[in-house]
Structure 1
Amino acid sequence: MSQTATPPVRLKTSAMIASIAAEGQTTRPAPFGHALNALAEQRPDLVGLTADLSKYTDLHIFAAAHPKRFFQMGMAEQLLVAAAGGMAKEGLLPFVTSYAVFATRRAYDFIHQIVAEEHLNVKLCCALPGLTTGYGPSHQATEDLALMRAIPGMTVVDPCDALDIEQAVPEIAAHRGPVYMRLLRGNVPVVLDEYDYRFELGKAKLLRDGRDVLVISSGLMTMRALETAQKLQGSVDVAVLHVPTIKPLDEAAILHEVRRSDRLVVVAENHAVIGGLGESVASLLVRSRLSPQFRQVALPDRFLDAGALPTLHDRYGISTQAFVQSIQSWL
């Protein structure tokens, strides 16, 4: 008796901008917008600016609560950054939102010359980092960490989940100087609440220990690393070191974990293999004369395809299933 194969699920166009949360996963809506609102009640100097993207960066929540402190600059990212720099010079605390591609690629010189060179207190919070949209290279910020890391004095943050974002907002506000923070928007997964976690700027956190593999990760790839560790439990013991601050890097925590045992070291990031967390860690290990088995889970050095996010995450190796298969093959 023959059996008919079940046809694959045909993903709709909406999957190009789908939430990164798995089905049934706990989420919180707009954690950045709500955290900014809470902070604004304590900081009358806080202002919000965007380039026609308040709804898509969750800044519309702040705009509704504080309309006189919200500035819609239109589709002009260079003007957006320049205006924020001017406000910072006058003693205000500007939080700037846009898509990561537009802020980093279109306004890079303005960030470099106006904000960073004068060490102005501007916080750039940018949505759709790495491969979190399926709309192709025009919207996929796969090199934003490399660009921002290269700017002297720029602090770079890559939160994992809603809790990370909520706790990072007041921390980066308290830090004096420019900050670039990757932003997860909409219904954002809640993951770190199970690990007694607290965001500290410049600090990495060991979320779980393991004998066989040490995963050093940032952003949504920490969520993937924890899922991977769970799936491999019983056959492979995986430790996960979450590194939410890419610059300055918590070198002491990374070296401590690498030196503890002879484990496979895997750096996982939602960013191109060039210029991000992976190369930062590799450079640190070489300078420290350490040579563990080292692998990267990262996006390739090329322009990525457009398509449904689940498909693209599988294709480029950053889905949980791809992560599991990679570790199994390396071991």
Structure 2
Amino acid sequence: MKRSKYERPAWLSHPRSGERLTTSAMIASLAGPDQRTKPAPFGHALAKLAEERPEIVGLTADLGKYTDLHIFQKAHPDRYYQMGMAEQLLFGAAAGMAREGFLPFATTYAVFAARRAYDFIAMAIAEEMLDVKIACALPGLTTGYGPSHQATEDLAIFRGLPNMTIIDPCDALDIEQAVPAMAAHKGPVYMRLLRGQVPLLLDEYDYRFEIGKAKVLRGGSDVLIISSGIMTMRALEAAKALEVDRIDVSVLHVPTIKPLDEATILAEVGKGGRHVIVAENHTRIGGLGEAVATALLRHGVTPASFRQAALPDEFLDAGALPTLHDRYGLSTERLSGQIRAAI
């Protein structure tokens, strides 16, 4: 039977309740209904830092509003550059500004930086070790608009690029603290950016962001989840949910993918007896999971078991984010299921 134009397709239904979702669910906030959030943490942090650092400039490829750089534009309109839909021009201009002593923060979507402008970033910025800071929205599966907008392989692409530091923040606090750290760091930095109403949770864990440092957020004797980005939020949610099953879960947050804090990872895995799950909002190819596995193999550290909670090696469907996160294993329920299976 032909579907009415007013009927929601199946991929716009909630995976658990069957509730009909609007198309806005394709770009919905990652926060739960009762979760605390902060608006535009990147934009506000950069605007504040720029008050003390006159060399900071902001550039974007027609995506100021959608990378929260419009906050910076409002505060510092004479230091904001709209480069149009031209990422190669964006990063070429950022490189030129860095050579002239400016500190450019360039924003776009992660797919456009990783796929469309990679050679410009490699040759104009990374090879020259320039102080260009790249902040890119819609990393991994944080949009339902299909493969054209889902940067599921950006970590694999940029991990192979010499001189590039890579940050995958978990929440608003992570982003707020990462911005000044990026500015203070010598050389290019790529940060996966959460925008809009961003969840806030790390302030409950006495957390402080440092480039190149992983942080134990909670201890646990049965399972160790090593996670980055939004999957640290999911890991903490899963750990709490599994308390009723008397499964004790430790969470190690790894906000810096490169350089990887191998010392902390090896120390935590080396405590022995725990099942290890690496959770990431990225394809299982070339991201945090493979980086951790390589480090463990290189140093001869063997956990009780090792699993990856990651996106499959395929182009993903379009649809509502709750549906897609459940389908591809990024939801709290699916991660909890992997932990139970490991036990």
1:12 maps onto 2:14 in alignment: no
Q: Structure 2: which 5+ runs fail to align?
A: 1-15
Counterpart in the other structure of 1:316: 328
1:229-284 Cα distance to aligned partner (Å, 9 max, x none):
00001420000000000000001000010011210011000000000000000000
Q: In structure 2, which of residues 274, 277, 294 is the aligned counterpart of residue 263 of structure 1?
A: 274
Q: Name the CA distance, whole Å, in 2 between partners of 1:8 and 1:263.
A: 36
1:258-312 Cα distance to aligned partner (Å, 9 max, x none):
0112100110000000000000000000000122210000000000000000000
Aligned residue-pair number: 326
Query: Could you say what secondary structure the match of 1:267 adopts?
Result: strand
Counterpart in the other structure of 1:70: 80
1:121 maps onto 2:109 in alignment: no
Specify the code of the residue in structure 1 equivalent to 2:165: T
Task: Name the CA shift for 1:149/1:24 in 2 (closer, same or farther; >3 Å).
Answer: same
Q: TM-score, normalised by structure 1?
A: 0.97
Q: Name the CA distance, whole Å, in 1 between partners of 2:174 and 2:137.
A: 15
Residues 97-246 of structure 1 aligned to structure 2 (within 5 Å) = 97-234=107-244, 235-246=246-257
Verify the 8 A CA contact 2:153 2:283 in the aligned structure 1.
Answer: yes
Counterpart in the other structure of 1:3: none
Specify the code of the residue in structure 1 equivalent to 2:309: V
Q: In structure 1, which of residues 234, 237, 247 is the aligned counterpart of residue 258 of structure 2?
A: 247
Q: Name the CA distance, whole Å, in 2 between partners of 1:254 and 1:265.
A: 11
Counterpart in the other structure of 1:328: 340
Specify the code of the residue in structure 1 equivalent to 2:266: L
Q: Name the CA distance, whole Å, in 1 between partners of 2:22 and 2:58.
A: 34
Q: Name the CA distance, whole Å, in 2 between partners of 1:65 and 1:190.
A: 24
Tell me the CA shift for residue 51 of structure 1: 0.1
- What is the root-mean-square deviation of aligned Cα atoms in Å? 0.9
Counterpart in the other structure of 1:298: 310
1:50 maps onto 2:60 in alignment: yes
Identity %: 70
Q: In structure 2, which of residues 41, 45, 70 is the aligned counterpart of residue 35 of structure 1?
A: 45
Q: Name the CA distance, whole Å, in 1 between partners of 2:90 and 2:310.
A: 31
Task: Name the CA shift for 1:41/1:328 in 2 (closer, same or farther; >3 Å).
Answer: same
Q: Name the CA distance, whole Å, in 2 between partners of 1:238 and 1:304.
A: 29
1:116-167 Cα distance to aligned partner (Å, 9 max, x none):
0000000000000000000000000000001111100100000000000000
1:95-126 Cα distance to aligned partner (Å, 9 max, x none):
00000001111000000000000000000000
> Would you identify which runs of 4 or more consecutive aligned residues in structure 1 move more than 6 Å?
none
Tell me the CA shift for residue 7 of structure 1: 7.2
Specify the code of the residue in structure 2 equivalent to 1:275: G
1:277 maps onto 2:278 in alignment: no
Q: Structure 1: which 5+ runs fail to align?
A: 1-5
